[in-house]
Chain A
Amino acid sequence: MSAIPKRQRIAGLLVVGLALALLVINIVAASKDWSSLRPVHTGQTAPDFSLPRVASDGRLSGDLALSSLQGSVIIIDFWATWCGPCTSAMPVLEEMAISYGDKGVRVLSVNTEGFGMARAARAMADRLSPSALLVSDDGSASRLYKVSTIPHMLVIDRHGTVRWVKRGFGSAAGLRSDLRAVIEELL
């Protein structure tokens, strides 16, 4: 290999070395807190969060903490007004709230569009899922639960443990069947 290509090869190797050094440093940094990268999963204690409730007139009222609902079976639904599958899922969650509400099942509806969309979220929730507890998320709960696709639904048992996680929406019948199965098991 002549001198010029050798220098070029060395320069190329230095670039790759730079990338590998950064990769190793980032992996070591991430390894100190793997749990923060892992999505919220079944068997894990549900991370607590506190978000403002959306009152009937669309205004924000006092905060509702997830931990305040401990003792109930909680269905958490992260959703947005622009999300078609979310609006398809909400009536199914309303069915669960009506069918199992007297047995201690609550639906916590978390609108992910920020405080500015509270009024629109209230209007949609009143139409599709009026029994749900509606809260407005400024992004803090979505980040905590690593919500990347919506609807993002979880079922939390009476002791605060995540027992079921669903990302996305397949069909109303499928969602109904899955939710009934997990709720019946927890009651």
Chain B
Amino acid sequence: MPLRRWLDRVGAAIIAPAQAMRVSDTPEGQGRAAGDIALLLLLATIAVETRLVLQAGWMLRYGDLAGSLTVLLSGARDLLATPVIVLLVGSVLLTLGAGRRRRPADDFDLSCVALTPLVVLELLHGLLVRLGLDVHQPLIYVGYTWFAALLLVALQQTRRRKGKAS
């Protein structure tokens, strides 16, 4: 089932990232990581910005499609802007670091795998805030350190590629 495989890939990105990146960097795994992170980001947006989603739903109920989209986009922008920028920066760094073995589309996939724990930490942060715990700063440090470490793992993966750049 696609959902089970998605769960396996997301889980692998967290507990076995090197393996997840090896799989992502194969012809069979191409493009999957981008779809996986998109679905995870959607889930995170709905879970973290539930109030805005509900408000958008009400607006749609009253026929205000434009207003509904505006509310949804504002919530999505607040949550997603940083992860998307981080994803793109990571992808560019991987492509630059891969040198002659660069494959920009696959490098982007690797960056998607590396981003997964950061998105999970956003969810965790949302939950802890709801429980009254202010742990924003520590989680930020953990998240970006984790991402940087995974970029190094991804860079190693690019070095294992055979052949020249596509």
Residues of A whose CB lies within 8 Å of any CB of B are 4-5, 7-16, 18-23, 25-27, 29-30, 37-39, 41, 146, 148-149, 165, 167-168
Contacts and interface: CB of A to CB of B under 8 A. Distances in A.
B27 to A, nearest CB: 21
Given A11-B15, A23-B46, A149 B67 contact: yes
A15 B19 CA distance: 18
Contacts of B68: 148
B11 A9 contact: yes
B127 A22 contact: yes
A84 to B, nearest CB: 14
A11 B7 CA distance: 8
Contact of B123 (A8, A22, A148, A165): A22
- Taking each of B6, B47, B126, which has the highest tally of chain A beta carbons within 10 Å of its own beta carbon? B47
Question: Which applies to chain B's interface (DSSP): helix, strand, loop or mixed?
Answer: helix
B51 interface: yes
Contacts of A8: 7-9, 11-12, 15-16
Contacts of B67: 39, 146, 148-149, 167
Interface in B55-81: 55, 58-59, 62, 64, 66-68, 70-71
A62 to B, nearest CB: 32
Q: Which of A7, A12, A23, A29 has the most CB of B within 10 A?
A: A12
B9 to A, nearest CB: 7
B43 interface: yes
Nearest to B7: A12
B54 A37 contact: yes
Given A20-B47, A26-B51, A149-B70, A12 B124 contact: no
In the A-B complex, the 4 residue pairs with the smallest Cβ-Cβ separation, listed nearest first, are A12-B7, A11-B11, A26-B50, A12-B11
Contacts of B7: 8-9, 12-13, 15-16
A52 to B, nearest CB: 26
Given A21-B127, A37-B54, A39-B59, A149 B11 contact: no
A30 B54 contact: yes
Contacts of A5: 8
Interface string B12-24: 1011100100000
B162 interface: no
